[in-house]
Amino acid sequence: MSYRVLAAEDAFWRPSNQMGVLNTDLAKQLQASTMGARLWRLQPGQASTRHRHRCTHELYVLLEGAGRIRIGGFIGELRDAGAHFIAIPAVTPHIAVGPLTQRTSLPIINMLEVTAKGLHDRGYSRVALFGTRFTIESELFGALGAIDVIAPSPQEVDEIHRIYLELATTGHTSAAGVAALRNTARAISRRDRIDAVVLAGTDLSLIFDEDNAGFPAFDCASAHLTAILDQLPGGTVQ
C-alpha cells in the first residue's frame, strides 16, 4: 500500500475567504482523490461559515481546545416546514443528542434510548458493541445504564474499527472482512458469555442483520427504524 507524507512545515496555510480562519487543505496537498481533509486553526471567538452538506458526510476531529457546533437552526427550519419529530439515522451524531434536545421543541426519536429499551425488553444484561472505535470505547456514549458492556480486546477493537471504516467509506467489505467480524463476535460471545453483540453502527446493516449474523445480535438501526415508523400516522410495525 502506497502513502504520502506531508511534513508540518511544508503545509500551505491561508485564511478562508469569508471568515478569515487559517486553514490548510491536506487532501489536496496529499493528492487524495476520494475524500476531503482540511485542518483549521480557529482563534477564540472565531467560527467557520454556516453551511450544510446534502450528499456527503463531514467528520470533525477536535485536536486542541473546545468548541461548539450549531445544528439546532436547521431543526427550526424543519419544524416550520411541518416536521413532527426528528430522527438522526446514525449512531455517532447521537453524542450531541443531549444538547440538541435542549435546543428544539420537536421530539427526537433517540436511537440510544431505543437501543437501551430494546436490550432491557429482551432481558439482555451483558453485551458487547461493534462499531467505530469511539462508539465501542465510550460504551455507546454511556447510554446503556445498568447493562454491562464488555469491551473487546485492543486487537479486536482495531480490527472491528478498520472493517467498519471500510464499510462506511466504500459501502462494502470483503468476504474475509465479514468472516473476521463474525468470528470475532463468536469469540467474544464464548469468552465473555455475553447475551448479544450490539450492532452499534448503521453501516453494519450492509452485511448483517439479526437473522443472518450467525451470532446473537441486536441491530440498532433496525430498532431505530421501527421506532420511527411507529411514530408515523397510522403506523405500528410488527
Long-range contacts, 155-164 (Cβ 8 Å, 24+): 156/184, 156/187, 156/188, 157/133, 158/133, 159/184, 160/130, 160/131, 160/133, 160/136, 160/184, 161/132, 161/133, 161/136, 164/130, 164/131, 164/132, 164/201, 164/203, 164/204
- pLDDT value of position 220: 94
- pLDDT value of position 92: 84
Q: Distance from CA of residue 193 to its chain's centroid? A: 26
Q: Distance from CA of residue 155 to its chain's centroid? A: 20
- pLDDT value of position 54: 67
pTM over 0.85: no
- pLDDT value of position 59: 73
* DSSP letter string, 169-216: HHS---HHHHHHHHHHHHHHHHHH--SEEEE-SGGGGGT--TTTSSS-
> How far is residue 115's CA from residue 222's CA, in Å, rounded to a whole number?
10
> How far is residue 123's CA from residue 119's CA, in Å, rounded to a whole number?
6
Contacting residues for 221 by C-beta, under 8 A, at least 6 apart: 89, 199, 202, 204, 205
Alpha helices per DSSP H over 95-153: 97-103, 111-121, 133-137
CB 75 within 8 A of CB 99: no
- pLDDT value of position 43: 86
The one-character DSSP state at 53 is -
Distances, alpha carbon 134 to alpha carbons 131, 139, 143, 145, 214, in Å:
8, 8, 14, 18, 25
Residues (pLDDT < 70) of the chain are 1, 54-56, 69-75, 234-238
- pLDDT value of position 153: 96
- pLDDT value of position 183: 97
> How far is residue 129's CA from residue 211's CA, in Å, rounded to a whole number?
17
